[in-house]
Amino acid sequence: MKGFRFLLSRAVQGVIVMFGVSLLVFFALFLTGDPAALMMAPDSTVAEIDAFREAMGFNDPILVQYGRFLAGVVQGDFGNSLRYQRPALDLLSERLTATGVLALSALLWSSLLGFALGAIAAVRKNKPIDFAIRVISLLGQAVPVFWLALMMIILFSLNLRWLPSSGYGTFQQLIMPSVALGAYYLSAITRLVRASLIETLGENYIRTARAKGLTQWRIVVRHAMRNAMIPVVTLQGMYLASLLGGALVTEIIFAWPGIGRLAVEAIQNRDFPVVQAVVLFAAMVFVIANFLVDVAYTWLNPRIRL
Amino acid sequence: MKHLSALALGLALALPATVVLAEDTTLVIGRSASTNALDPGFLREAATIVDNIFDTLVMRDENMDLVPGLATEWTSVDDTTWEFKLREGVTFHNGEAFDANAVKFTLDRVLNPDNKAPTISYIRTIDSVEVVDATTVRIHTQGADPLLPTRMSRYPAYIVPPQYIADHGRDHFANNPVGTGAYKFVDFIPDERVTLAANETYWRGAPQIDTVIWRPIPDNTARITSLITGEVDLIEDVPVDLVPLLQNAPDADLVQVKNGGLIVYLGLRMDKAPLDNKLVRKALNHAINRKGITENLLGGLATPAGTQVGVADFGYLDLPVPAYDPDLSRKLLAEAGFEDGFEITMQSSYRYMKNAEVAQAIAQQFEDIGLTVDQEVMEWSVYTQTVPFEGPIYMLGWGSTQTLDADAAVYAIFKSGEPYSGAVVPELDILLEESRQTVDPAAREQLLFQVQELANEEVPLISLYQEDKLLGKGVDVDFGGRPDARIPVFEISKD
C-alpha cells in the first residue's frame, strides 16, 4: 500500500513536471516570434505572409493558442509539422528506432567498459594502471562530442578507410556514432564506479569478507559491487535521458536519422510543433527514467524502503 | 552474457539492411539539407530532387536558354494571354496521359488560396488557365506578364497527374510522387534517403544513370569525407574552408560554377537616419574593399559585383564595381555633416561564405572611415525574423536562381514595402512596376538597365559580390554544375 502511494505520488509529480515543461516550451517558442515569414517563398508579398499567418492561427491570442496546443497534446496531437505537413508525433515515432539503437548501444558499451575500468582502477588504487585509467577518463569528459566525432571521421573514414563516414543501416555505420555518444558516459561511469568502489571497499563488512579469506575479485564482484552501484544507477537513469541531448550533435554529424537531428532541423526552421513534441518527449523520458531509478534503488539497497 | 549477445543481435536486426544494387549505374548524391516532402506544388525547400521526377512546360538547356519541355512552343496571343502547345504522347510514370487538363489542374491547385501553397508568389500573376483542347492551353494573366514562360520553367509549375492525386490524395502524393520526368520515384525514408530509378520510356530518351540515391548529410566534414572515400559521387554545398581538402583529394574534384551563387549585399534601412542620406550611403559603398574580401577572405570563390543582377540573368547590366576609396568616403561623410562619423548597428548571420569573417572585415572598413560599428551576429532562424525590420544595416544574399531574370534578383529587395526591402526610392518603384507590365523583351531589358543605373546612383543597398556555386564530384562523374543550381541527373554520366 505504501509502495502504491509512493508510485501514485511519483506519477502526479511527473504530470506536474510535464505540464510545466509544456508551458515553458510553448511560451519560450512564442516569444521568439512566429514562423510565417520563414515558411513562405522569399518574394512573397506582405499580404500573402499575413494571409498565411492568419490561416495557421498565429494571429490568435497567446492563451487561445496555448489552450489549443494543450488540448491537442493531451490527445497525442502536437499538430502538423510546418515543414513536413505531417503530424509531428509521426515524425518523432518514425525516428525513435534510430535514436533508440544509438542511445542504447552507447549506454551498453560505455556501461560495461566503465564498470570494468572503474573496478580495475579501484582495486589497483594509486597504481600506474589506476593513474592511466583516470587520465583517460578525464580526457573523455573534457573532449567535446563534436570534436571527437570529427576526429574519428578524419581518422577512420578519410585516412584509414575502415568505416563509413555517415549514414544509417549497417553495423559499421553504428560504430562511430555510438563511440562518440558513449565516450563521455564511459568516463563518467568509470570515475563514479572507481570512487564508489573505493569507498565501499573500506567498509567493515568487506574487512570481514577478507578475513574469511575470499579472493580480492570475489569480494569486489560479489560483495562490494552491489553497494557501489547505487550512485551509478542514479547516473545511468539520468544518462539515458540526457543521451537524447548528446544525440543532437552526434546525429547531425553522422547523418543519423534520429530524433536529435529532427530536433535541430526543426529548431533551425522554426518548426514549432516538432520542437514541442521533441522537448515534451525528452521530458517524458526524464520523468520515466527517474521513476525507474527510484524503483531500482529499493532493489539494490533494502535500507531505502518506500 | 547470454542476455548481452541477445541484445547485440537485437540491435543488429533492428538496423534495416542497406539497399544492394548490383551492376546498375548508381549515382549517390550527398546534400546538406533533408528532404521534407516531394510534392512540387508545395515545396518548402529547393526543388533539386523533384526536378528529376517532374517536368515543366518550358525548360532550360546548359546555356540557360529557354527551350521546349512539355510544351513544344509558346506564344503571346495578346498582352495578358500566353498560349502553350503541348507535347503529345507523354505519359506519367503510372501510365496516366499528360494533357491540357494536367496543366490546368497543376496551376489551379497552387493558385487555390485554400491550399495555402508556400510558393504561390512565383505564379501569382496568373488569373486563369483555359483548356482550349487536349494539347493547347491558354494562361491568362492579371496584367501583362513577360516572365510567364520563365515561371513555367520552375517550381511550383512542375506538371502533376490529376487522376493520381484525386485517387490517392495530396499526402500520399507528397510521399509517393508520380511525374513525367527522367526518374521514377522508388522510396523516401525521411532523413535517410530518396531513391529514384531511370524512366526508360522518358520522352527525351532513357537516362544513362540507372539509379539515383539522394542522401542528406548535414555535417560539412562528413559530407566531404563521404565524397573523398567514394561513399557518394556528388555533393552539394562545399564550404570555403574545406575546398583545399577537396582539391587535394585524388579521387574527387571541386566543381566551381562561376557566379552560380547568390549576390551578397548590405541591406540599408533607407527610412532611418542617417541612411536616408544619399551621401552617407555612397560613403559606405566606397568604404568597402570588395576585391580584398573576395580574394583574400573568400579565396577567389566569389566575384565583386556592381549590381544586384547576376551575370547570367536576363537584364544584366555590366556596371563597374564601386571603387574602394576611403578618402572619398570620408569626404562624402563630411559633406553629409558627419565629419566625426556616427554609431551604427550592422546585423549578419551564418549563412553565406565565411559570413561572420566578411561582416567583421566590413565593420573594420567602416570604422576606418570614422564610423563606430556595433556588430550583431545572429543565428539564421532568428535573423530571418529581424531582417529587414531592425538593421539599419543587414547582410543578406539574394539571387534570381532558377528564373535567371533580373526581376527576381531585384524586385523584392529594391521595391519599397516588399517584405525583404529596406529601400525607399519612388522612381525605382515606378521603373520596377513598368518593367513588370512590359512584354516586349527589348523594351523590358532597357527598363531593367535603367533600374540598375538608378540603383547605382541612389544606392538603396550595397552590392558586395556574387558567390560561386561549389559542388564536389568523384573524378568518374561527368557534371559541370549549372548556374540555375539544378542537378538534372538526366544530363549526368558516370564512367
Chain A residue with minimal CA distance to B407? A43
Q: List, run by run, the mean pLDDT of 10-residue segments along chain B (495 residues).
A: 43 45 81 88 87 96 91 94 96 96 96 83 90 96 90 93 95 93 95 95 95 94 93 93 90 91 94 93 96 94 94 92 96 94 93 92 96 91 77 90 84 87 93 90 94 96 95 94 90 91
The whole-angstrom separation of Cα B221 and Cα B227 is 10
Amino acid identity for residue B248 in this structure: N
CATH 3.10.105.10: does it fit domain B263-467? yes
How many CA atoms does the CB half-sphere of A92 hold within 13 Å?
A: 23
Query: Which pLDDT score, from 0 to 100, does residue A303 have?
Result: 66
CATH 3.40.190.10: does it fit domain B6-32+185-258+469-494? yes
Query: Which pLDDT score, from 0 to 100, does residue B8 have?
Result: 44
Task: Tell me how close the Cα of B295 comes to any Cα of chain A, in angstroms.
Answer: 28
Which set of grid coordinates corresponds to residue A292? 525507474
Chain B residue with minimal CA distance to A262? B191
Contact B384 A38 (CB under 8 A): yes
Tell me whether residue B452 is exposed, middle or buried, using C-beta atoms within 10 angstroms of its C-beta: 0 to 12, 13 to 18, 19 or more: buried
Cα separations in angstroms, B43 against A40, A53, B40, B50, B176? 10, 17, 6, 9, 14
The residues facing B130 across adjacent strands are B138
Q: What confidence tens digit (pLDDT) does each residue in A221-245 have?
A: 777 887 777 788 777 777 777 777 7
Query: Which pLDDT score, from 0 to 100, does residue A43 have?
Result: 62
Pick from B44, B217, B417: which is nearest to A255 by CB? Answer: B217
Contact A108 B189 (CB under 8 A): no
Contact B218 A46 (CB under 8 A): no
How many CA atoms does the CB half-sphere of B179 hold within 13 Å?
A: 31
Place of cell 600506474: A128
The whole-angstrom separation of Cα B95 and Cα B99 is 12
Query: Which pLDDT score, from 0 to 100, does residue B445 have?
Result: 94
Query: Which pLDDT score, from 0 to 100, does residue B15 have?
Result: 45
CATH code assigned to B58-166:
3.90.76.10
Amino acid identity for residue B401 in this structure: T
Inter-chain Cβ pairs, chain A and chain B, closer than 8 A: 154
* B126-133 and B136-141 beta bridge pairing: antiparallel
Contact indicator for B240, B468 with CB cutoff of 8 Å: no
Counting DSSP H helices and E strands in chain A, the numbers are: 14, 0
Chain A residue with minimal CA distance to B192? A257
Task: Tell me how close the Cα of B359 comes to any Cα of chain A, in angstroms.
Answer: 21
Domain with CATH 3.10.105.10 in chain B: 263-467
The whole-angstrom separation of Cα B73 and Cα B59 is 11
Contact A153 B222 (CB under 8 A): yes
Comparing A45-49, A258-262, B175-179, B263-267, the range with the smallest average pLDDT is: A45-49
Domain with CATH 3.40.190.10 in chain B: 6-32+185-258+469-494
Contact indicator for B345, B376 with CB cutoff of 8 Å: yes
- Residue A224's CB: how many other CB atoms inside 10 A? 25
Pick from B12, B15, B412: which is nearest to A43 by CB? Answer: B412
3-state secondary structure B339-404: CCCCEEEEEEECCCCCHHHHHHHHHHHHHHCCCEEEEEEECHHHHHHHCCCCCCEEEEEECCCCCC
Residue B85 vs residue A206, higher pLDDT: B85
Q: Which of A204, A251, A246 is nearest to A97 (CA)?
A: A251
Query: Which pLDDT score, from 0 to 100, does residue B406 have?
Result: 92
For residue B222, list chain A residues with Cβ-Cβ distance below 8 A: 153, 165-166, 253-255
> Quick check: A3 pLDDT over 90?
no
Q: Which of residues 46-75 of A touch B (CB under 8 A)?
A: 46, 48-49, 51-52, 55
> Quick check: A37 pLDDT over 70?
no
Which set of grid coordinates corresponds to residue B63? 546555356
Which set of grid coordinates corresponds to residue A63? 492563451
Backbone angles phi, psi at A102, to 5 degrees: -65, -50
Task: Tell me how close the Cα of A257 comes to any Cα of chain B, in angstroms.
Answer: 5
**Exposure letters B307-324 (e unless 16+ CB within 10 A, then b):** bbbbebbbbbbebebbeb
For residue A260, list chain B residues with Cβ-Cβ distance below 8 A: none
Amino acid identity for residue B307 in this structure: T
Q: Which residues contact B26 (CB under 8 A, 6 or more apart)?
A: B209, B210, B211, B212, B213
Chain A residue with minimal CA distance to B172? A86
Query: Which pLDDT score, from 0 to 100, does residue A293 have?
Result: 80
Which set of grid coordinates corresponds to residue B168? 490517392
Chain B residue with minimal CA distance to A255? B217
Q: Which of residues 93-152 of A touch B (CB under 8 A)?
A: 94-95, 97, 100-101, 104-105, 108, 112, 150
Contact A167 B16 (CB under 8 A): no
Contact A269 B222 (CB under 8 A): no
Q: Quick check: A215 contacting B, CB < 8 Å? A: no
Q: Quick check: A254 contacting B, CB < 8 Å? A: yes
Q: Quick check: A171 contacting B, CB < 8 Å? A: yes
Contact A269 B381 (CB under 8 A): yes
Chain A residue with minimal CA distance to B421? A43
Task: Tell me how close the Cα of B294 comes to any Cα of chain A, in angstroms.
Answer: 26
For residue B191, list chain A residues with Cβ-Cβ distance below 8 A: 95, 255, 257-258, 261-262
Query: Which pLDDT score, from 0 to 100, does residue B18 have?
Result: 46
Of chain A, the percentage scoring pLDDT greater than 90 comes to 24
> Quick check: A306 pLDDT over 60?
no
Query: Which pLDDT score, from 0 to 100, does residue A129 have?
Result: 92
Amino acid identity for residue B6 in this structure: A
